[in-house]
A and B are shown apart, each in its own frame.
Chain A
């Protein structure tokens, strides 16, 4: 029982980040029909900015929590600027062009790998503890930081879900994902909605990166692993589907956690790939996929 609760809690923590990550991927795919392999770098730059600014601010005798919150603001701002540049100078010209956007995003990956290494250095950066202590949930201990990460991720996911179903922008994003031409025929300005979708996705990556920074080891390469897992999550859940991204994120996290606990990390990774194959054989468009 204790083990089960521990495993569930761990799955939720990892899953929370995968969800934020895959929501961004699925949003961009849905609206622009492209896959952004540089999405992991949006996530990475956010984590890097947090890891860079928090020790700096702490050095000026700012307490940990305010230092972190300022760091998050800076990280989100920097990530949004990077996302903006990616869109305005890049992906805007490759909408609905799988091959072109693929080449562009691979180029961005290589470019940003170099830039990050130059700016932040290759060394890993620890972030000082923001929220000390542990909380016990149903007999299983969780660090306060990880719990806060989960709560924040749940709130962000809920807000996004609310926005997608209740606001005019959200409905336009969903309509464009289903049929962009039909959406335009209703007066939905495709270009502006695509831009909004890309920027929301960038913001989600920024928040995911800023949330993960205090509970992990931050390096310029941090995005790669999450990118792969986030991808698997959206493919399993159904590219373009918001509920699918949530379900897929939890699914991948659960298998990774359980597999890693009973076997080892390598077996867990193999299990994830087997899962993808099985899901795609049974439901080629993913669990909740449509178009």
Chain B
């Protein structure tokens, strides 16, 4: 494992639910310092890819490498300790627990309490409106705020690679913009990012590199600007 090790390298990954195939021979990488996006329609297999990477779905074949180390099939809690953090689809907050408890759980794998406290402060600086509501149950926040909490919780593990599964879905345009800015900001702090989105416009605007997933297979990949200007992608994903 060197400093230049590729944060995430997925090779030949296939996965299925029973006999129903969901991913077919997917190759995808997140290189150091990049925001990479994976764009696909509903049911394309985006969440399955995230789950296969983070250990919630066991791949049928293929490999997942995290910072150069093969981690295929490793359990999610071990991957967290290797620098991976996930904002799952649908946020999956612990709704009956308080905001603070949710953030503490985000730091579950860490032992340096002083550093955790510093990170809590930093994370709350990103979301000042959450600071005086730490003892409110997470499930009672608005949809946009819950998405912020999900991101904040994921950051509490001090990740080196962050996976986000459709963080802007169902949110008002102003909040979508804020999340987009947030992702850029997080990347600026040295966190590598894989952003999974149906919202191609936002995703391509934020990302450096993009993959297009259709029916469980990668059908195109290129620089995000290049894809944003490709007529085919514009027709299929940008409604132009």
Contact = CB atoms under 8 A, between A and B. Distances in A.
Contact of B76 (A171, A179, A184): A184
A182 interface: yes
The winner among B54, B85, B93, B96 for most chain A CB atoms within 10 A is B96
B88 to A, nearest CB: 6
B153 interface: yes
A187 B108 contact: yes
B75 A184 contact: yes
Given A171-B105, A172-B108, A189 B94 contact: no
B86 interface: yes
Given A181-B56, A181-B92, A182-B88, A187 B97 contact: no
B27 interface: no
Interface in B20-58: 54-56
Interface string B66-106: 00000000011100110001101000111111000100111
Nearest to B101: A171
A181 B89 CA distance: 12
B92 A190 contact: no
A290 B94 CA distance: 11
Given A184-B77, A186-B80, A190-B77, A168 B97 contact: no
Interface in A153-181: 168, 171-172, 174-175, 178-179, 181
A188 interface: yes
Contacts of B75: 184, 189-190
A194 to B, nearest CB: 12
A56 to B, nearest CB: 46
A183 interface: yes
Contacts of A138: none
Interface string B108-132: 1100000000000000000000000
Given A168-B108, A188-B105, A181 B95 contact: no
Contacts of B146: none
A1 interface: no
Contacts of B97: 171, 174-175, 178
B96 A187 contact: no
A187 B106 CA distance: 8
Interface string A61-90: 000000000000000000000000000000
B77 A182 contact: no
Contact of A186 (B55, B95, B106): B106
The winner among A174, A185, A187, A189 for most chain B CB atoms within 10 A is A185
A183 B157 CA distance: 13
Interface residues of B, number: 25
A179 B105 contact: no
B82 to A, nearest CB: 10
Contacts of A179: 92, 94
Given A175-B97, A181-B76, A290-B96, A187 B56 contact: no
A184 B80 CA distance: 9
Interface in B182-222: none
B228 to A, nearest CB: 31
Contacts of B85: 185
A183 B54 CA distance: 13
Nearest to A170: B101
Nearest to B104: A171
A187 B92 contact: no
Nearest to B81: A187
B92 A188 contact: no
Contacts of A183: 94, 105
Contacts of A185: 54, 56, 76, 80, 85-86, 88, 92
B96 A172 contact: no
Nearest to B157: A187
Interface string A93-108: 0000000000000000
Interface in A175-225: 175, 178-179, 181-190
A84 B92 CA distance: 32
Given A181-B92, A182-B88, 5 more contacts: A181-B56, A184-B76, A186-B77, A186-B157, A290-B95
28 contacts: A168-B108, A171-B101, A171-B105, A172-B108, A174-B97, A175-B105, A178-B94, A178-B95, A179-B92, A179-B94, A181-B88, A181-B92, A182-B92, A182-B94, A184-B55, A184-B75, A184-B77, A185-B54, A185-B76, A185-B80, A186-B77, A186-B80, A186-B108, A186-B109, A187-B108, A187-B157, A188-B77, A290-B95
